């Protein structure tokens, strides 16, 4: 369906058809991210002599300690609550190649003999640029620049470069040290009656802005990191929420269910909640005690 609207910046001379503006919002990406959910072979672990356990824990703690403080992307370990797994590693890295190295380092530990993969999730930290997208697309259309032409691509590249530099702290954050982590994947609905990907970009921008207002009200209580996984994993996005009080996860996610973008278009995957376990607390965790984080 072709819808015509009028854009009136000072330089506008004629109406712009929505069909001239690509529907895909621009995004900028940062760290590559891997979540590894593991089950721990407690039965086999209990058969080991105390000296063997100490050696295994010491080796794993040394490696994990280096990964926690890695300047180009950190790792963290979490003790999962419930039946979905026992441990979860979260890795932030500069590239998929570095993620693969982190995965191999973990697999090379003697501790890995007692770990069984439950599932994993691969994604990249992503910021969607709805407002900037509409602005630059409209400006280019007003100037008569053909979509995806050389001039168009150059302007888009410059816009993305500026935005990425401005948003660098959000694209390449330190792994938050909060006590609790809640991770879940999600999709946008693509059904016959409601399909997020057929909604005009301006309407999607409005709904996402309202959605973001809810999250900003919790800014002092929770740290949120959104990752994109289209083409990388089974869902479209991953969401990490970090907080010192797990009740904030329930309150935030419940409140967000009532805004339009979630109520109409959101589909949610499996939720994982865990407690942070610093490398120095690994022995306590594998001894059956709750780590201090």
DSSP code for 195: B
| Contact status, residue 246 vs residue 180, Cβ threshold 8 Å | yes
Q: What does the alpha-carbon distance between residue 136 and residue 83 come to, in Å, rounded to a whole number?
A: 48
User: Is 184 among the catalytic positions?
Assistant: yes
Helices (H), 95-129: 96-107
DSSP code for 235: S
Tell me the three state secondary structure of residue 293.
Answer: coil
Q: What does the alpha-carbon distance between residue 241 and residue 214 come to, in Å, rounded to a whole number?
A: 14
Q: What does the alpha-carbon distance between residue 180 and residue 264 come to, in Å, rounded to a whole number?
A: 29
Structure tokens given for 258: 């009532």
| Torsional sign, CA 47, 53, 37, 232 | negative
Task: Give the residue from 111, 45, 154 showing the smallest Cα distance to 277.
Answer: 111
Q: What does the alpha-carbon distance between residue 158 and residue 98 come to, in Å, rounded to a whole number?
A: 27
Q: Which of 78, 184, 265, 272 is catalytic?
A: 184
242 pairs with which residues across the strands? 181, 223
Whole-angstrom CA distances from 30 to 75, 225, 243 are 15, 11, 22
- What residues are labeled active site? 184
């Amino acid at each position: 369906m072709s819808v015509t609207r009028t854009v009136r910046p000072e330089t506008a001379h004629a109406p712009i058809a929505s069909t001239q503006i690509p529907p895909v919002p621009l995004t900028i990406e940062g760290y590559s991210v891997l979540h590894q959910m593991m089950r721990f072979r407690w039965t086999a672990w209990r058969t080991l002599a105390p000296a063997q356990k100490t050696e295994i824990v010491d080796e794993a703690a040394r490696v994990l300690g280096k990964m926690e403080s890695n300047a180009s992307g950190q790792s963290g370990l979490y003790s999962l609550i419930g039946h979905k797994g026992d441990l979860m590693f979260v890795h932030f890295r500069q590239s998929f190649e570095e993620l693969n190295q982190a995965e191999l380092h973990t697999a090379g530990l003697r501790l890995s003999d007692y770990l069984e993969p439950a599932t994993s999730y691969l994604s990249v930290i992503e910021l969607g640029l709805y407002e900037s997208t509409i602005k630059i697309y409209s400006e280019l259309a007003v100037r008569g620049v053909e979509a995806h032409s050389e001039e168009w691509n150059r302007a888009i590249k410059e816009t993305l470069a500026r935005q990425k530099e401005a948003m660098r702290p959000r694209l390449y954050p330190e792994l938050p040290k909060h006590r609790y982590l809640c991770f879940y994947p999600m999709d946008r609905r693509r059904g016959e009656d409601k399909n997020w990907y057929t909604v005009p970009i301006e309407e999607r921008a409005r709904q996402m802005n309202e959605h973001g207002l809810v999250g900003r009200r919790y800014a002092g209580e929770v740290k949120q990191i959104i990752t994109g996984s289209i083409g990388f994993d089974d869902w479209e996005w991953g969401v990490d929420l970090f907080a010192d009080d797990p009740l904030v996860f329930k309150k935030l996610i419940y409140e967000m269910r009532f805004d339009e973008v979630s109520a109409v278009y959101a589909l949610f995957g499996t939720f994982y909640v865990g407690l942070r376990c610093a490398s120095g607390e690994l022995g306590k965790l594998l001894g059956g005690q709750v780590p201090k984080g």
